[in-house]
Amino acid sequence: MSNGSFVTAFILTGLPHAPALDAPLFGAFLVMYVLTVLGNLLILLVIRVDSHLHTPMYYFLTNLSFIDMWLSTVTVPKMLMTLASPSGRTISFHSCVAQLYFFHFLGSTECFLYTVMSYDRYLAISYPLRYTRMMSGRSCALLAIGTWLSGSLHSAVQTILTFHLLYCGPKRIQRYFCDAHTSVNEMVIFANIGVVGRCRAFQTCVSHCIVVLCFFGPGLSISLRPGSRDAVDGVVAIFYTTLTPLFNPVVYTLRNKEIKKALLKLKNGSVFSQGK
């Protein structure tokens, strides 16, 4: 990467705000991060221990929870460091590359995963008698592997496009984490969201529609809006890196009867007794 010899570090300034808001923002982001990790870990635990949830739908939901947990971990800790002290705002060039890669890797994998989950619900509703054969364990594994490989490839393209550009601006970035918006990158993101997001997403259950809207809405607002407004883009980026991973476990637990039943069983200890 040719930029490496010119830039060794960046300074993440975050969104413009009064210094007095550093502590409240730190507390808010910390609470959201803890709730996101705990919520997604709880979903992983419930699905793991309850045999009734060992179905394709919940297999993909475990992938989603795992992604959400790490998507927040890639960005939020650095956001907290930025708010905690001025020295925490500095990020090395290579760390910035790594953060950008994993951010787009997990985000685009989640994007593809939503499509797979929509396809799964479409088959369950449209072909109930053939569903079990069509969505076998092998098929689910191949679809899941495909989403991870596609996300990895998409992120590699994004990262290469970004860091092979000639960087001539200041080292100060008005973000809480490394991200970039260029005309080429925006076309890739738009194609990704436009093609993948429309694939039968609204032919599925209400819960899935809600999380799809929460995930694709902010991305579409950036891609479809002409020009760039750093403050607005920064707020949108915070939304889908902190709030969306927090919304997913809430939506899937509050609107899903099977998950709520499994939570009650876990609370009463009946899940463990059934496994013995």
Q: What percent of the chain clears pLDDT 70, i.e. is strictly above it?
A: 70
Angle at the Cα of 193 from the Cα atoms of 130 and 196, rounded to 5 degrees: 15
pLDDT for residue 181: 54
Q: Are strands 90-92 and 172-173 parallel, antiparallel or unpaired?
A: unpaired
Least confident interval from 57-66, 109-118, 158-167, 181-190: 181-190
pLDDT for residue 193: 46
**Confidence check: pLDDT of 213 > 80:** no
The helix (H) or strand (E) run that includes residue 111 is: helix 93-126
pLDDT for residue 105: 92
Among left, alpha and beta (phi > 0; psi -120 to 50; other), residue 16 is beta
Calpha distance 6→125 (Å, rounded): 55
**Confidence check: pLDDT of 263 > 60:** yes
pTM of the full structure: 0.78
Calpha distance 141→273 (Å, rounded): 29
Calpha distance 35→230 (Å, rounded): 28
Show the domains of the chain with their CATH numbers: 11-275 (1.20.1070.10)
pLDDT for residue 38: 92
Averaged pLDDT, 75-87: 86
Averaged pLDDT, 101-108: 89
**Confidence check: pLDDT of 274 > 70:** no
Calpha distance 174→245 (Å, rounded): 22
The helix (H) or strand (E) run that includes residue 9 is: strand 9-12
Calpha distance 115→37 (Å, rounded): 23
Listed residue (76, 149, 103, 121) closest to 212, CA to CA: 121
Tokens at 200, concatenated: 């039968």
Instruction: Count Cβ atoms within 10 A of the Cβ of residue 84 and give its class: 0-12 exposed, 13-18 middle, 19 or more buried.
Output: middle
Give how far Cα 148 sits from Cα of 59, 165, 177, Å.
Answer: 14, 26, 22
Calpha distance 171→7 (Å, rounded): 8
Angle subtended by helix axes 183-196 and 137-163, to nearest 10? 160
Calpha distance 14→231 (Å, rounded): 9
Strand order in the sheet with 172-173: 90-92, 9-12, 172-173
Give how far Cα 125 sits from Cα of 7, 12, 26, 184, Å.
Answer: 53, 47, 44, 38
pLDDT for residue 90: 87
| pLDDT: which is higher, 117 or 170 | 117
Least confident interval from 77-81, 115-119, 130-134, 177-181: 177-181
Backbone φ and ψ of 15, nearest 5°: -80, 150
**Confidence check: pLDDT of 262 > 50:** yes
Least confident interval from 77-91, 122-136, 225-239: 225-239
In three-state secondary structure terms, 12 is: strand
